Structure 1
């Protein structure tokens, strides 16, 4: 399901006047059966299937799954392929963080800021297309390497794009830091304390914005992350503003990593000769994880021999961040609900529907996020 489609998540908000006193999160009934679908297709076809779990962060899904296959097969990608894999994932992190910050600007009412961020995000989408051949879905990863390499011309074009993008990212970070309206809407709204984020199993920028330094890239050092210098960004405030600013800081860090990769790209081959890959897999199992733009993403793959997996288990970051954070809305106003929700960077097929229940009047109303943003909620 595309995020623009209605269903399947319902946010039920109980309010006493304007104050939120209770929130229930229901995930609805839409289910694509991706895990079961992988059992009916070959290991290699499943690379395309898992890449469709999320259109925004498809390369991290492919990387996580492919590394599990490599573990079962006992093969290792070349150094150049590892660098290119990291480049694809960091470009994806940049455009994902830009997208949710643009959405936050729109929710608060800054349509012009939304449009300018989305305009500059196109630079990243172009870079991703140059690298992988796909503007949205990359289909770039294969066991043992990647599907496409880059030459000197493409490397130069990518560096030019990143050099154009760098001042724009720094500008938007400054806007979010200094604009009085943005600060008023996000500062001290949806505060999460360190104990709360760890107790409730929250991950990614939500976790790091509350002062917890946890990043699978640093902890597992998969692909080439052990060779590429980077800093794990953390903040202490734990509010909606901290979560959005942290994403700008991570985008800038990802841009620096991308430039480093292009300037220090190892020589050698990166493209896989698919004819040499075995059609049948040995028995085995693997558990892998990556740091997706929204947090920790894990895959468990089991093979009992043959050309199809026996079991594929996927754990995405958004489910934890949304389901386990219902407590964070309490005590804030109805107008704060969309701001807090967007600060978690939700990624479940359209999470915009909500039920508002006025405990004083006993009335209830189902509204969309759009209606809430435009202040069209009337409890009558």
Structure 2
């Protein structure tokens, strides 16, 4: 290892919107090994949730990730409604799915633009980010916010999408179809993009299974998984759509999956709008006054893959335990497989291909005394402390 040159990506790097450090150990231009250093972004969201009311926790988990700001409330709502045995009204189901799919479109457009930028194709970057704007305008029209929409609550949603707004949403969807056609054509037909992405950063189907990767990262390697279909919820079983997969497992395949998924998202939203038009306005929630003691798990297919929330309640107004796994937690680890054996110039786009988000992935590794700098707890001791806390809650519940 000492004979190899070390090329750092991070902790501050144009590729990464957040700090994280990847050390590439190289022989000449070829990457031979990768080391990953974490710990720059841990914010203690799970512990904070235990001090909030259930309603406040929705606003908290929205801020786990700016790009997936409805995915975590979606999963958290599914977990809480499992505990409370609540069936959400159909109108709320349609609204939830509309918000989720609009977010998928805006996330995928953001990724396509950034991928173009990393490859030096700034025309794609400018196109994609320009075409995201009408989607963000829709969010503002529906929720009042371009990000962190504050739409979810236990039993339904906080705001209706009035039928009078449906024509405007359809107008934006028609605009987006044409622009996604343009972007898809630019990516699928450009020989330079093919040369820079095909055969680059390959992750095999076996690698996906070994690392338990999820989302477009997995589907680009031929793994046919999608929480929206495999664990039906919201309006997804009420509409017609299909799971997009590809076989290449390379950067090009990941771009292909995301581009084609946008067409499916548009199709889902259009059908949800049809459903809204047939239902009475205002029927958007079931009032839930008390949450019983219990355990719930909630899943949602975020733009990057499966989000998982585990919640334990003990009859109070706050979660007793709240554990969260974001898709990047498993997807980022595949970088070692996709990067080793590649050239340094391909390392950045191989990492970007999984659409990594670090702030929703971080976990605490050690606890230090701020005043003295002395280590108080290491990683193993933190786990043991967590187990003791869980056992105490179990005994008292």
The TM tier, using the shorter chain, reads: 0.7 to 0.9
How far 1:89 moved relative to its partner? 0.2
Q: Distance in 1 between matches of 2:172 and 2:293?
A: 44
How far 1:264 moved relative to its partner? 2.6
Deviation larger for 50-59 or 320-329: 320-329
Q: Name the counterpart of 2:303.
A: 293
5 Å-filtered alignment, 1:201-350, equals 201-265=212-276, 266-268=278-280, 269-272=282-285, 276-278=287-289, 280-349=290-359
Match of residue 145, structure 1, among 156, 164, 180? 156
| TM-score using structure 1 length | 0.88
Q: Secondary structure, in 3 states, of the residue corresponding to 2:43?
A: coil
Q: CA RMSD in A?
A: 1.9
Match of residue 172, structure 2, among 161, 170, 185? 161
How far 1:300 moved relative to its partner? 0.4
Q: Distance in 1 between matches of 2:21 and 2:358?
A: 11
How far 1:133 moved relative to its partner? 2.3
How far 1:75 moved relative to its partner? 1.7
How far 1:311 moved relative to its partner? 0.3
Deviation larger for 75-84 or 32-41: 75-84
How far 1:127 moved relative to its partner? 1.7
Unaligned runs of 5+ in 1: 352-380
Identify if the C-alpha distance between structure 1 residues 73 and 256 changes in structure 2 by more than 3 Å, giving closer, same or farther: same
Q: Distance in 1 between matches of 2:354 and 2:112?
A: 11
- Give the paired residue count: 347
Match of residue 134, structure 1, among 125, 137, 145? 145
Q: Name the counterpart of 1:21.
A: 32
Q: Name the counterpart of 2:53.
A: 42
Q: Name the counterpart of 2:127.
A: 116
Q: Distance in 2 between matches of 1:171 and 1:243?
A: 18
Q: Is the 8 A contact 1:190 1:329 kept in 2?
A: yes
Q: Name the counterpart of 1:76.
A: 87
Q: Is the 8 A contact 1:3 1:350 kept in 2?
A: no
Q: Is the 8 A contact 2:214 2:327 kept in 1?
A: yes
5 Å-filtered alignment, 1:1-16, equals 8-16=19-27
Q: Name the counterpart of 1:93.
A: 104
| TM-score using structure 2 length | 0.84
Higher relative contact order (CA 8 A, sep 6+): 1
How far 1:30 moved relative to its partner? 2.9
How far 1:282 moved relative to its partner? 1.4
Q: Is the 8 A contact 2:143 2:159 kept in 1?
A: yes
Q: Secondary structure, in 3 states, of the residue corresponding to 1:291?
A: strand
CA distances 1:322-341 after superposition (whole Å, capped 9, x unpaired): 12431210111100011101
Q: Is the 8 A contact 1:3 1:349 kept in 2?
A: no
Q: Is the 8 A contact 2:58 2:76 kept in 1?
A: yes
Q: Distance in 2 between matches of 1:73 and 1:317?
A: 26
Q: Distance in 1 between matches of 2:321 and 2:71?
A: 19
Q: Distance in 2 between matches of 1:213 and 1:270?
A: 35
Q: Is the 8 A contact 2:41 2:358 kept in 1?
A: no
Q: Secondary structure, in 3 states, of the residue corresponding to 1:103?
A: helix
Q: Is the 8 A contact 1:23 1:327 kept in 2?
A: no
CA distances 1:163-189 after superposition (whole Å, capped 9, x unpaired): 111010011011111112111111100
Unaligned runs of 5+ in 2: 1-11, 362-397
